[in-house]
């Protein structure tokens, strides 16, 4: 088993507790890779300058020699720095400590992602991130002789093996991105089909319990493991028991302190479920003393991927592991948060009810008239809306539905392409199907308006009515909004 000497770094403003928590988290990360930590050192910096002095380098070298002397020579020994090292910093450490392999926190996280990736999309995303991370860190391999080719004439100095290696990596990255783009196209098609449905996304720090909540909400057999970054692929399932319309829940990759920016960039499309969601369920491990830091890291990551403005609700998970006093303090600090245990059925039911309530408040009631010629939309409307009433006439279906405004707007747009009304009789027939009997006063439309064709009519009691139909599709949209406003303000 590989062994590691861990170097922690404490900068001005860092508390002893936060440093030790970070080192404990790094040790857990290394355990995922079956790397055993055999020694830990902490460098306390007096300023923001991350440079290690000669004294600390000598101390590290002595500790490495001591650790190496206690184990077989063939056993791999690593120096793991709990920080993100720049290429220059990495080279300086490698030059100063030639007897040990040096890696940083970002490299550890990348290795874990590589070992946990299961689907082709996840493997491509991780490999691209790893290659992007490695690209600026390529070093001269002196065993290759320094330069290759092109040395036969004046001015033809050839290419260094660093240049050739970087070109090879760039070509590999380009090929992987092309393959990933083709796979993501299919994902985008699936995502487009879900856009009219209410969607919630489980987000949060790694190992906060998102997958357990996913199972509780949807009943799906998603992977639930007590390890960091067990889930790398986004899973989308329907809330169970199903509602009308269905509410979709997605389980996304977890966040962590100092998540490599290459991974954030590579997983940008995978995290689209969080950006496109109507509600983010921000899962926090209430039993972790560092939950505030983890919540801050999650919110920062959400802002980075463009999901910072999405409505959210905090879920204080694993609440069964804290005492009553802590629960009361949490309720005072985060009064809108929901305190739950993913394994408690009653808490799962409370969360489900909260989801239904949140999305129901975002929906509106409206009427749709679907001609038989557009009957293919009926199945979609039934799947993506709650149908409150449905009647049929000679021309088609009259629906009273409750759905998200965006879905209603889209259906209105599709239905507005139906053949326009061409005569007053046809317009009054439409009105008649809605239960109002009118008689036209004129044989033709009043065409004096720029936006509408108008019919002047009277009902059976002699009350005058003005009935109008839009002249153009763009007027249809404005008339729809106007009609909704009138319904809201009428007594």
Going by the annotation, the residues of the binding site are: 204-211, 229-233, 251-254, 317-320
Which of 431, 403, 461 is closest to 245 using CA atoms?
403
Which of 304, 314, 195 is closest to 260 using CA atoms?
304
Distance (Å, whole) CA 251 – CA 364: 27
Distance (Å, whole) CA 216 – CA 195: 23
Which of 137, 155, 108, 112 is closest to 6 using CA atoms?
108
Identify whether the C-beta of residue 218 lies closer than 8 Å to the C-beta of residue 205. Answer: no
Which residues fall in the annotated binding site for GTP? 204-211, 229-233, 251-254, 317-320
Which of 44, 53, 43, 51 is closest to 12 using CA atoms?
44
The 8 Å CB, 24+ separation contacts for 40-46 are: 40/5, 40/6, 40/7, 40/8, 41/5, 41/6, 41/7, 41/8, 42/7, 42/8, 42/9, 42/10, 43/7, 43/8, 43/9, 43/10, 44/10, 45/9, 45/10, 45/11, 45/12, 46/12
Sequence-distant (6+) residues with CB within 8 A of 196 are 380, 384, 403, 404, 406, 407, 410
Distances 232 to 85, 114, 263, 271, 342 between C-alpha atoms, Å: 24, 10, 11, 10, 20
Sheet of 77-81: strand order equals 36-44, 3-10, 77-81, 101-104
Sequence-distant (6+) residues with CB within 8 A of 172 are 131
Distances 19 to 40, 227, 363, 382 between C-alpha atoms, Å: 12, 21, 46, 54
Which residues fall in the annotated binding site for Mg(2+)? 211, 231
Cα 109 from chain centroid? 19
- Compute the residue count for the chain: 491
DSSP classification of residue 463: -
Distances 207 to 39, 233, 283 between C-alpha atoms, Å: 25, 14, 10
Cα 490 from chain centroid? 41
Angular region, 211: left φ>0, alpha ψ -120 to 50, beta rest: alpha
C-alpha torsion sign, points 402, 405, 410, 415: positive
User: End-to-end CA distance of the chain, in Å?
Assistant: 77
């Amino acid at each position: 088993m590989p062994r590691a000497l861990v170097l922690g770094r404490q900068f001005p403003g860092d508390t002893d507790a936060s440093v030790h928590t970070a080192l404990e988290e790094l040790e857990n990360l290394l355990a995922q890779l079956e790397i055993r930590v055999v020694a830990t050192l902490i460098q306390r910096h007096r300023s923001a300058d991350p440079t290690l002095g000669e004294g600390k380098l000598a101390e590290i070298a002595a500790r490495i020699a001591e650790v190496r002397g206690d184990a077989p020579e063939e056993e791999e020994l690593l120096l793991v720095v709990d920080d993100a090292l720049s290429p220059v910093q990495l080279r300086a450490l490698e030059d100063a400590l030639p007897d040990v392999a040096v890696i940083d926190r970002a490299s550890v996280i990348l290795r874990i992602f590589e070992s946990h990736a299961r689907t082709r999309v996840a493997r491509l995303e991780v490999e691209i991130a790893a290659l992007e991370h490695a690209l600026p860190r390529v070093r001269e391999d002196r065993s290759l002789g320094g330069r290759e080719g092109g040395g036969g004439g004046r001015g033809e100095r050839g290419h260094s093996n660093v240049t050739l290696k970087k070109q090879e990596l760039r070509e590999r990255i380009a090929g992987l991105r092309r393959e990933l783009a083709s796979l993501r196209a299919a994902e985008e098609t699936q995502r487009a089909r879900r856009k009219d449905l209410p969607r919630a996304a489980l987000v949060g720090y790694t190992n906060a319990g998102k997958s357990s909540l996913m199972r509780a909400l949807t009943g799906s057999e998603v992977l639930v493991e007590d390890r960091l970054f067990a889930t790398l692929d986004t899973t989308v399932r329907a809330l169970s028991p199903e509602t009308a319309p269905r509410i979709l829940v997605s389980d996304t990759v977890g966040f962590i302190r100092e998540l490599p920016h290459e991974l954030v960039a590579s997983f940008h499309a995978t995290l689209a479920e969080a950006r496109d969601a109507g509600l983010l369920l921000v899962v926090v491990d209430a039993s972790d003393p560092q939950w505030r830091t983890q919540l801050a890291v999650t919110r920062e990551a959400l802002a980075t991927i463009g999901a910072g403005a999405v409505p959210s609700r905090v879920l204080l998970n694993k609440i069964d592991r804290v005492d009553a006093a802590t629960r009361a303090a949490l309720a005072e600090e985060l009064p809108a948060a929901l305190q739950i245990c993913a394994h408690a059925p009653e808490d799962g039911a409370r969360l489900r009810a909260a989801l239904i309530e949140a999305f129901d408040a975002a929906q509106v009631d409206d009427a749709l008239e679907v001609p038989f010629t557009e009957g293919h939309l009926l199945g979609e409307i039934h799947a993506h809306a709650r149908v409150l009433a449905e009647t049929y006439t000679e021309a088609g279906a009259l629906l009273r539905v409750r759905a998200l405004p965006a879905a209603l707007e889209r259906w209105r747009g599709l239905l507005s392409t139906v053949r326009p009304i061409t005569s007053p009789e046809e317009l009054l027939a439409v009105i008649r199907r809605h239960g109002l009997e009118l008689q036209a006063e004129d044989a033709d439309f009043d065409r004096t308006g720029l936006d509408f064709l108008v019919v002047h009519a009277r009902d059976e009691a002699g009350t005058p009515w003005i009935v109008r139909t839009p002249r153009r599709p763009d007027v249809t949209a404005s008339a729809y909004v106007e009609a909704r406003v009138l319904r809201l303000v009428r007594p």
